Amino acid sequence: MVFPFFWMVTTSFKSPEEVLDNTSWLPGEKFYITFTNPLGEVEEVEVLDAPFEGSAEPGKRFVKHLSGSFRGRKEWLENRQIVRKVWLWENYVKAWTTVQPSFGQYFWVSTVTSVLTTLGQVITSVLAAYAFVFMRFPAKDFVFMAFIATMMVPQQVLLIPDFLILKKLGLFNTYSALVVPWIAGAFGIFLLQQFFQSIPRDLYDAAIVDGCSRFGFLWRILVPLSVPPILTLAIFTFLSTWNSLLWPLIATDAPDLRTVQVGLSYFSQESGTRWDLLMAASTFSILPLVVLYFIFQRQFIQGIAHTGLKG
C-alpha cells in the first residue's frame, strides 16, 4: 500500500531520463550531470560505469549524451567537469509554475469548493438523518429507501442531465457549478442515520418533555454526541471533492476555475507525459489530504466503528 507513494515521491526528484530507467529505484543510483558541449549547448549526460567498447582510454570515466546535437554519442569526461545531480528539487518549482495560470490558483479553487461542499453536505445530511430517525411523517420508510436507491445510479448516467440543468440555471463557469450539485447526498444521510439510530429514543422524549425544542435537541444534544461520524462524513466529502476530475472538466472551461486534478492532467499531453513533473505535482497535491487525515485520524476511526460500516 505504501509503495506507490514511495515511488511517487522518489520519481519526483529524478530527471526525465532517470524516470524511464527501470533499474533506478532512488535518485542518483545512475546519476546524470549537466554538460556544455562545444556548440555551447547545455545538455544532460549519463555517467557510464565502464568504458564503452573500442575506447582508447581504459579506466577513465565516460559519459553518454542524452540530449542536444551530440545525443547518443559516448566520450571521455574529465572529473572536474562532473556536477552530480541526485535530488532535483527544481522539479517542484517547474511543476508549480509550468501550467497556467498556476498551481496556486488550482489549490485555491479546490480548497474553496471542497470546504463549501463539505459544509453543505454535513448540514443537509444532519438535518435529513435527524428527520428520518426522530420525526414521524407519511411514507418515511419509502422516502428513505428512495434516497438509498439513488446510490445505485452511476454518476456518469447523470452527467448530461446535470449539465443541461446547470446551463439552464446560468451556473456554467461559476463556483456554484462546482459546489451546489454536491451539497446533498444519499451516502451522508445513510451514514448519519445509522449512527442516530444508536441514540436512545428515550433521550429525545426526555428532552422534549423538559421543554427542549426539536432543533434544540438536534444542536445541543445530538450533534455533540455525533462528532465522530460527522467528522468521518466531512473527511469523505472533502476527499471526494478534492479528487474530483470529471465534473470540473464539464462544469467549467475557464482556466481560473480549474481544480488541482485538472491541473495534474496538463502534464499528460499527446506528445508524452512528463513523469518527473507529474509526480512532483501529485506529491504536493496529495499533501493536504495526508495532513487532514492524520489530524482527524482518531475521529475518523471512531466514526467508522460507531456507524457499523466496514471496508
Task: Name residue, grid cell 445530511.
Answer: 125
44-64: per-residue pLDDT in tens?
666 665 544 554 454 556 777
The predicted structure's pLDDT at residue 310:
45
Beta strands (DSSP E) in 80-211 are: 84-85
The predicted structure's pLDDT at residue 60:
58
The predicted structure's pLDDT at residue 117:
96
The predicted structure's pLDDT at residue 129:
93
The predicted structure's pLDDT at residue 74:
75
Under the banding of pLDDT at 50, 70 and 90, the label for residue 83 is: very low
For the chain, count helices (H), then strands (E).
16, 7
Q: At residue 80, does pLDDT exceed 50?
A: no
Under the banding of pLDDT at 50, 70 and 90, the label for residue 311 is: very low
19-33: per-residue pLDDT in tens?
776 666 777 655 556
| Helix (H/G/I), strand (E/B), else coil: 32 | strand
Q: Does 96-307 carry CATH code 1.10.3720.10?
A: yes
Per domain, the residue ranges of the chain are: 3-88, 96-307
Tell me if 11 sits within 8 A of 275, measured CB to CB: yes
Task: Name residue, grid cell 467528522.
Answer: 231
149-206: per-residue pLDDT in tens?
988 888 888 888 989 999 899 889 899 999 999 998 899 999 999 889 888 888 888 8
